[in-house]
Amino acid sequence: MSSFNKITHVIYDMDGLLLDTEIFYTEVTQGIVQQYGKNFDWSVKSQMVGKKAIDSARILVDRLDLPITPEEYLEVRDDGLKRLFPSAQPLPGAERLTLHLARHHFPQAVATSSKTSTFELKISQHQEWFSLFQVIVRGDDPAVVNGKPAPDIFLAAAERMGADPQHCLVFEDAPAGMEGAIAAGMSVVVVPDPNMDKSQYHSAHQILDSLTEFDPTLWQLPGY
């Protein structure tokens, strides 16, 4: 554990890491694909999580051989999601960790593939909580030329916090996000969905079942 870099700044993914929104994507997408006699399971979803919407849509349409375009899928999907997003709840340990680091004046950022309009729906009941993040970079930010697994979004977050990437710790749930953070030269703690194959996370510095398991002192951060 002593090989972990000293951390000065922390960056979080949002969906499936801070907020429990992945269940919404599953519910709405299954409703769409079953109209074509298809099933949306984790063999497909595991390749989609963490990526920009259009990239995920292309994977879905291709893998399930759907008779619609990725754009048509997203249009129907987004209508369903808009009704569900405002009810998103924090995942276990997320508020505790972020509030703890905020009290100790550690700069924190969110790096989410969500575009601004959907981001605002997701945090609509959590404005006060999300106000503690110094920087929030969304998927439609001009600096994010390439989505995860490219490092763009993490490098943008670090630059805006004035952080050295090698002293940034990223929390992610998706393989694409993990790969992007590593490509950015950052340390990564992953908290995969229980349905994900953990072998996809062998490059992570630490794998947890829940944020409640995170021990800040292992990263030279203030203990609870």
Marked catalytic residue, from 13, 55, 141, 173: 13
How many Å apart are CA 163 and CA 49, to the nearest integer? Answer: 27
Q: To 10 degrees, what angle do helices 70-84 and 22-33 make?
A: 130
**Which one, of 200, 218, 213, 211, lies nearest residue 17 by Cα?**
211
Marked catalytic residue, from 15, 141, 152, 173: 15
How many Å apart are CA 88 and CA 22, to the nearest integer? Answer: 10
Instruction: Assess whether the previous peptide bond of 151 is cis (omega < 30° from 0).
Output: no
- Residue 15 catalytic? yes
| Coil, strand or helix at 23 | helix
- Residue 173 catalytic? no
**Which one, of 94, 109, 167, lies nearest residue 143 by Cα?**
109
| CB burial of residue 83 (10 Å; 0-12, 13-18, 19+) | exposed
How many Å apart are CA 54 and CA 140, to the nearest integer? Answer: 12
26, 64, 110, 167, 203 from 170: Cα distances, Å: 25, 32, 9, 10, 13
Q: Which residues are catalytic?
A: 13, 15
